[in-house]
Amino acid sequence: MQQPKINKAFLLLLLAFGVFLAGSYALIYTLEPKSTHPSAQSVSMTAPTGGDFTLQSDQGPVSLRDFEGQLVLAYFGYTFCPDICPTNLGELSLAYRQLTPEQQQQVQILFISVDPERDTPERLRQYVDYFAADMIGATADAATIAEVAQRYGAVYVKIDDGSENYAVDHSAFTYVIDRKGRLQTQLPHAAGVDFYRDTMQNYLN
């Protein structure tokens, strides 16, 4: 069945303000407008539940509960992403570096790879170190990543072209998890360094 066309301007408006659709719990997740793969678009009729998870980093298992008492900003993407991930993570890292040292100790940015086939824990470490924000990169087997992504409302799809250089279309939200491990909200893609910094500070107050 052919999927109905979705007004891109409307999607961008929702993305810019991060609102609930029509005042309900319906959240809409979309890729950047340049995406040519509408199969990566998804509408969820229930609010994401979030919750604890355990993934693998180059230092071993990483669980959300490890960061109790800290503000966690989780982003789902992959290291071979040509522009979406570097742009968003770059702004998050700049915002992080504008915090005071005391505030930085209370914030953890977590990069979760949806491409476990290529993104080994070691590669993730090299990638996140580039952003100089004490970021942690982690992933898991495909089934675990799919389950965690679903609970947080992230969507993604592998564009299998038969080569090793395949792309993975993915939603581009940053998920804000409070000090008690509760998913609070999602932040729009590339909203700006000032916006991300102010958001972090608001949750730390």
Residues that constitute the known binding site = 81, 85, 170
Is residue 73 within 8 Å of 92, Cβ to Cβ?
A: yes
Binding-site residue numbers for Cu cation are 81, 85, 170
- Alpha-carbon distances of 60 from 2, 52, 77, 98, 112, rounded to whole Å: 44, 16, 20, 29, 14
Closest by Cα among 57, 48, 64 to 173: 48
Residue 80, φ and ψ in degrees, nearest 5: -85, 0
The contacts found for 5-14 with CB under 8 angstroms, 24 or more apart, are: 6/30, 6/38, 6/41, 8/33
CA distance 114 to 76: 6
CA distance 33 to 134: 30
